[in-house]
Amino acid sequence: MSRLSSRHILPLASSIPIAVLSGFMMVLCGFCLLGLFGIQSITQNWLSETQDKLTIEVLAYDKDIIAVLDQAQLDTALIKIEKYLDNDPIVTSIDIQRFETQPLIDSDLTIPAPIFVVVNLLKNRIDNAEDRLMANITNLVPNTNFKTIQNWERDINQTATTLKVTFGGLTLCILIVTGVILIGFIKGHLKSNDQTIQIIHLMGADSSKIAALFQKFTFIPLILGLISSIIIISSVFTPALLLIDVNIDVFAFSIALLITNITFIALCQIVTYITVTHELRNLP
Amino acid sequence: MIELAHVGLRYKGGPEVLTDVNLTIAPKSFHYLTGSSGSGKTSLMRLLSINLLPTRGTVTFSGQDIQSISRKERARLRQKIGIVFQNFRLLPHLSVFDNIALPLRLQNISEAKIQSSVRDIANWIGLKDYLNVKPAFISGGQQQRVAIARAVIVKPEILLADEPTGSLDDPMGDQIMVLFEELNKQGTAILIATHNQGTIERFPHPAIRLQSGGTIES
């Protein structure tokens, strides 16, 4: 069989802009995908790091009467907490984080900053040991807030979800922009090759056959775009991520990248088909 | 083979360019289609080539009403019609060979068959030495021969030619007319739209005269 090739109606060179566009857009898609995988990895790191941690925030004001404490009161509270933590068997170490106090502008009043105590807990601790520790500290120093693993999980997951939605939205935007540009490109080619299309139509090609020719016309540049995007991502972005010590599952990422780009190509092919058949809908 | 009954045609938003056209084109016939400018010759040719559908009346091709069949079936019917244009309409980026082979490729014919068919027809039209040349590098008469070869390579039942000699000088035009007569002898019905009285006199065949408003006079 000798099928009609797209080069018979459209010169292959005129498809170069599609190769450039698709390559660029697929790199952007790959970048978003890397972002998603990076967030996943970072989230897991954060969660594992906070797994056996409890953060105590020694407040700089009295919780009940909302009165600002002075530095001496804050230090006393901290000493009490330290003393307690030294004797609690589930505590392995503590890390105290103090922040600089800044005087208020145009005021003699200096409000001390809260103090954070990061408590590293025993891995094999009994159930409720954490609750007991928090209750005891609250009894000792009422002006305390606690950030438990559950709080951390909630915050980290919230941040991760926001970032994932952002990257997902970006991918969607990339697909939409590509689709719009592709539609314009196809319409332009339909217009500039009006005579050729008329001739093909008169020879017995219906709009779906002409659309199939346009699909062939866009397929090769899309594949070129796919190859170039894979080369760029694997040679630039992935090493960059590894350098900043983000451990992504390279195999899973490669599969996801391939699936994303194949989906990208499939969508471009569908857009091409729909655009051509829609534009030629008035042909008898 | 092609029958038009009470056919009217109106372009979107415009006046009716064809009104009540009744016409029958028999197999293997040879007709001229004449008429003054604006009489609707080109519109009628577009109807006959199933490039337009009538706004009223019926057009029947081999017994099939072209309005009641699907687009795919209409496309299949168009493969039985060869068309030659005044300005040739060859694809400039393709060689003479690829231009002639285009309709065969559209029908998924084997490459071996395409090679032999194109070479046979190139011999017949006297262009066997120009098969690898782009259309821009051959004369107008040769380009029209290529257009004819492209139109008849699929052995159409009817060949429609819209002013095929319009852009050629008389000797070149006559050579083209000889090709049309040969094709007609091989069994292809021919309909040539022309206003060239000289051609009609040198190659006499029945003429269908389209008057303004679309009435037919034989």
User: What CATH number is associated with residue A74?
Assistant: 3.30.300
* A103 lies in some domain: yes
Write down the architecture of domain B28-42+79-217 according to CATH. 3-Layer(aba) Sandwich (3.40)
The residue from A142, A171, A195 where one domain ends is A142
Query: Testing the interface with B: which of A10, A199, A207 to mutate, by most B Cβ within 10 A?
Result: A199
Residues A113, A206: one domain? no
Enumerate the residues of chain A whose CB falls inside 8 A of the CB of residue B47: none
Residues A182, A67: one domain? no
Q: What percent of chain B has pLDDT above 70?
A: 97
Distance from CA of B90 to the nearest CA of A (A): 8
**For residue A62, what pLDDT is reported?**
65
B202 shares contact with chain A (CB less than 8 Å): no
Which of A1-15, A184-198, A255-269 has the least mean pLDDT? A1-15
At residue A65 the predicted structure's pLDDT band, cuts being 50, 70 and 90, is low
Q: Which residue of B has its CA nearest to A201?
A: B75
Is the pLDDT score of B214 beyond 70?
no
Contact B91 A3 (CB under 8 A): no
Residues A201, A120: one domain? no
B46 shares contact with chain A (CB less than 8 Å): no
B50 shares contact with chain A (CB less than 8 Å): yes
Contact A284 B107 (CB under 8 A): no
Residues A161, A39: one domain? yes
Render pLDDT for B84-101 as a digit per residue (tens, 0 to 9).
Answer: 887 888 888 889 999 999
| Cα distance between residue A29 and residue A32, in whole Å | 5
The stretch B33-55 carries a mean pLDDT of 86
AA letter at A153 = E
Residues A68, A195: one domain? no
At residue A68 the predicted structure's pLDDT band, cuts being 50, 70 and 90, is low
* A104 lies in some domain: yes
* A121 lies in some domain: yes
When CB atoms are compared, the residue of B72, B93, B114 closest to A2 is B114
Count of the separate structural domains present in chain A: 2
The stretch A136-164 carries a mean pLDDT of 84
Residues A37, A112: one domain? no
Q: Which residue of B has its CA nearest to A195?
A: B89
The residue from A89, A112, A142 where one domain ends is A142
The secondary structure of B68-104, three-state, reads CCCHHHHHHHHCCEEEECCCCCCCCCCCHHHHHHHHH
Query: Testing the interface with B: which of A9, A15, A197, A202 to mutate, by most B Cβ within 10 A?
Result: A202
The stretch A157-184 carries a mean pLDDT of 89
B59 shares contact with chain A (CB less than 8 Å): no
* A160 lies in some domain: yes
The residue from A92, A112, A142 where one domain ends is A142
Residues A39, A64: one domain? no
Q: What is the DSSP string of A164-207?
A: HHHHHHHHHHHHHHHHHHHHHHHHHHHHHTHHHHHHHHHTT--H
| Cα distance between residue A268 and residue A186, in whole Å | 11
**For residue A66, what pLDDT is reported?**
62
B45 shares contact with chain A (CB less than 8 Å): no
The stretch A274-279 carries a mean pLDDT of 93
Contact A206 B74 (CB under 8 A): yes
Which of A136-150, A158-172, A174-188, B113-127 has the least mean pLDDT? A136-150
Residues A66, A169: one domain? no
Record the pTM: 0.74
* A235 lies in some domain: yes
Residues A43, A67: one domain? no
Q: Residues 150..209 of A with a Cβ closer than 8 Å to B: which?
A: 195-196, 198-207, 209
Distance from CA of A271 to the nearest CA of B (A): 21
Residues A107, A40: one domain? no
| Cα distance between residue A214 and residue A186, in whole Å | 8
Is the pLDDT score of A161 beyond 70?
yes
Contact B106 A205 (CB under 8 A): yes
Residues A163, A136: one domain? no
* A149 lies in some domain: no
Enumerate the residues of chain B whose CB falls inside 8 A of the CB of residue A204: 75-76, 78-79, 103, 106-107
When CB atoms are compared, the residue of B51, B102, B104 closest to A284 is B51
Q: Bigger pLDDT: A142 or A184?
A: A184
Residues A169, A231: one domain? yes
Render pLDDT for A11-28 as a digit per residue (tens, 0 to 9).
Answer: 777 888 888 888 888 888
Q: How many CB pairs under 8 A join A and B?
A: 70
Domain of residue A210 covers 6-47+155-279
| Cα distance between residue B146 and residue B150, in whole Å | 6
Contact B110 A284 (CB under 8 A): no
Render pLDDT for B110-124 as a digit per residue (tens, 0 to 9).
Answer: 889 999 999 988 888
H helices present in chain A, as ranges: 16-50, 71-87, 129-140, 149-192, 194-202, 207-232, 238-243, 250-279
At residue B152 the predicted structure's pLDDT band, cuts being 50, 70 and 90, is confident
Contact A2 B109 (CB under 8 A): yes
